[in-house]
Amino acid sequence: MKKTGIIIEFKNGAVKDASYGMIACARNGGGDSLYAFVINEDAQVHKEALEAHGIHNIVDICLPEIGTCKESGSQAGWNPVIWSQAVMEAMQIHGISELFGLTTPMGRELLPRIAAKLDAPLVMDCIEVNCSEGIVQNYLYSGKTLATIKVKGDIRIYGIRPNVIEPAPAPVSASMFTVTYSNAHKNEPDCGKITLLESRPGDNSDGDLLEADVIISGGRGMQNGENFKLLHQCARYLGAKVGASRVAVDLGWVPYSMQVGQTGEKVSPRVYIACGLSGSVQHFAGMKMSGMIIAINNNPNAAIMANCDYFIEGDLFDVIPALTEALSKAK
Amino acid sequence: MKIYVCVKHVPDSAANIALKDSKHIDDNVTLLLNPYDEYAVTEAVSFKKYLNEKTSLCGTDDDTEVIVVSLGKKDAEKTLRSAMAMGADRGILIETEKIEDSITTARLLKAAIEKDGVPGIIFTGRESIDMAGMQTMFRLGANFGFPVANNVVKFTPDITNNSVEVETLTEASGRDLYQLSLPCVLGAGRGLNSPAYPTFPDVVKAKKKQILSVSKNELNIDKPQASTEIIELKLFAGKRTPEEIKGDLSQKITSLVKILKEEAKII
Ligand SMILES: Cc1cc2nc3c(=O)[nH]c(=O)nc-3n(C[C@H](O)[C@H](O)[C@H](O)COP(=O)(O)OP(=O)(O)OC[C@H]3O[C@@H](n4cnc5c(N)ncnc54)[C@H](O)[C@@H]3O)c2cc1C
């Protein structure tokens, strides 16, 4: 029987929607026995939610030395070096031969550390996985091609792009396990050579583009950082996160965490509203997988106007405030 | 100290990609130094300067050099030359016709580096913009038994303690601070420094610098059991058919709200 481990991510004390999507993905063509890895969270609290999505086993990974201090919002006791070792220990104890995680800042730290240690194959940013065949799909060459990749190895590791796979509830009942990872392992080769001194959480108000359902982005047309307020106001009514083009970042108007594109975040929201940005090849590389693209631009010849679902030709300083007002009235 | 920088020759971010066959792109496009690797090279060169200043104060001799290593076709020499124009001292090209996966790449990089010298530190970019595997630096570190930090945006050497302190960029502009013992592998992220465009004399000088070519076979690595292999590649245009939202401002807004409500169902 093939056993699949899934690293669950949390946000504000709840399982992230993207994690449910990942569980649905892990069930595709496999999923005989799914193990949810819950690290430094109260696993019991999330049991029902995970069972509803088809998880057969919940592994509560405890890190006593780190403590389980519950800071609000961020992952308590985050330490990628220790977390990845604890996940490997849980994999070994339960005989896991297939591991899933999200291609998020957390997954980008844990999955490659684990893959490197186990010398196991890993594909990040998968949009589809066929577990029984070991075949995945992802975008290569800056989103310009769609690749089918064969993954070979005794243990296989998949990083899933958040938000592309819909959650699909499938109720089962789950058994609970606990794995306690202790510092006894500190004499493993890497430990001690790398020490996390401090983790400074980011500002959630500007981040989280990766998992946003709706994104409204601004580019050079915003003219300055102050004007991004217009987008934030509108975003409130849309339940959207605010993104930006590289020009807006390079000019110092907004932080780099807001950049969408080839050298920024690669996002897949249901709706992407592009305001005052031209739609360069590099920008498209980060948002062309969006469900619906709406462009607001005063230049009918901008590239974005030729490759979107809807466009409004007009001045964003007229359109955005008017949209915000209409949305506020609709509420 | 020998400072190694692993760099990759990748299609220009603005290039139009066409296919040669069902698995490969037509490499008749402009290829250049992977953008994140520019930060890696820049940091390596300034680290060398820092070390030289330190040693000249202590009076010890200086044999610090920056060596750029790339795995790719013959054409990847161009990327090595670009890195040398940015200040690297010499280059090593591991020649292969095939697109190697991360597992094999990390083994080959390790073998080539080991053959050349004893690394004091290894820099890479945080990912390549073509394959975006996000893992080669971790594998390289594991193969050597060196600690690894990726997406590094601040680098502070602490040579007396034979270690470095780095900051890595996390979610929403958050930062993780690490101390790593040397030697280590660091994946450079955007913001680590501001790469400068090489001047014409730098480019000329780079032409005279040495590039050592080794073939994949010469390195004689153990063939890994595990692999990832592209079995099919298709163009993804993501082409859409745009529809204009017309009318005066209030008509446009009414239509837009209707689309958001009824079609996109987000409000
Ligand atoms: C290696 C590399 C990597 C890159 N990575 C990225 C990346 O990750 N993300 C990214 O975005 N870019 C990236 N770029 C940069 C990219 O090439 C473009 O320069 C950039 O995307 C352009 O930003 P923009 O659309 O905001 O600006 P512009 O191209 O200048 O477009 C501004 C647009 O705003 C419109 N406008 C102006 N005023 C108004 C108004 N009042 N109302 C409505 N519309 C208005 C204009 O008509 C124009 O279309 C990268 C470049 C390179 C070389």
What is the reported pLDDT for B66?
98
Cα A137 to Cα A228: distance, rounded to the nearest angstrom? 36
What is the reported pLDDT for A190?
57
In this structure, the residues whose C-beta lies within 6 A of any atom of ligand 1 are A 219-221, 245-248, 259-264, 276-278, 280, 282-283, 286, 297-299, 302, 315-317; B 13, 35
In contact, A25 and A119? CB cutoff 8 Å: no
Cα A207 to Cα B165: distance, rounded to the nearest angstrom? 25
From the CA of A305, how far away is ligand 1's center (Å)?
13
Q: Is B184 exposed, middle or buried (0-12, 13-18, 19+ CB in 10 A)?
A: buried
pTM: 0.95
Q: What is the pLDDT of residues A66-118, one digit of tens each?
A: 644 344 345 678 899 999 999 999 999 999 999 999 999 999 999 999 999 99
Q: Which member of B178, B232, B259 has the closest CB to residue A148?
A: B232
What is the reported pLDDT for A189?
55
Q: What is the pLDDT of residues B112-130, one digit of tens each?
A: 999 999 999 999 999 999 9
Q: What is the pLDDT of residues A219-238, one digit of tens each?
A: 999 999 999 999 999 999 99
Interface touch B232/A193, C-beta < 8 Å: no
Instruction: Cite the beta strand spans of chain A per DSSP E.
Output: 3-7, 10-11, 14-15, 33-39, 57-62, 98-102, 122-126, 128-130, 135-140, 145-152, 156-160, 175-180, 194-200, 214-218, 241-244, 271-275, 292-297, 310-313
| Residue A149 confidence (pLDDT) above 70 | yes
What is the reported pLDDT for B55?
79
What is the reported pLDDT for A68?
44
Domains along chain B with CATH numbers: 2-219 (3.40.50.620)
> Secondary structure of A24-83 in the HEC alphabet?
HHHCCCCCCEEEEEEECCCHHHHHHHHHCCCCCEEEEEECCCCCCCCCCCCCCCCCHHHH
Interface touch A194/B181, C-beta < 8 Å: yes
What is the reported pLDDT for A187?
52
For chain B, say whether A197 makes contact (Cβ under 8 Å).
yes
Q: What is the pLDDT of residues B154-171, one digit of tens each?
A: 999 999 999 999 999 998
C-alpha Rg value of chain A to the nearest Å: 21
* Per-residue pLDDT band at B35 (split at 50, 70, 90): very high
Nearest to A232 by CA among A144, A317, A324: A324
Find the residue in B nearest to A303 (Cα). B242
What is the reported pLDDT for A77?
84
* Per-residue pLDDT band at B54 (split at 50, 70, 90): confident
In contact, B180 and B163? CB cutoff 8 Å: yes
For chain B, say whether A160 makes contact (Cβ under 8 Å).
no
* Per-residue pLDDT band at A31 (split at 50, 70, 90): low
Q: What is the pLDDT of residues B207-226, one digit of tens each?
A: 999 999 999 999 999 999 99
For chain B, say whether A167 makes contact (Cβ under 8 Å).
no
What is the reported pLDDT for A330?
83
Q: Return the DSSP state at B129.
A: T
Which one has a higher pLDDT value, A183 or A141? Answer: A141
Which of A170-184, B2-16, B176-190 is least confident? Answer: A170-184
| Residue A282 confidence (pLDDT) above 90 | yes
What is the reported pLDDT for A70?
41
Nearest 5°: phi and psi at B15? -70, 145
What is the reported pLDDT for A69?
39
| Residue B248 confidence (pLDDT) above 90 | yes
| Atom of ligand 1 at shortest range from CA of A303 | 49
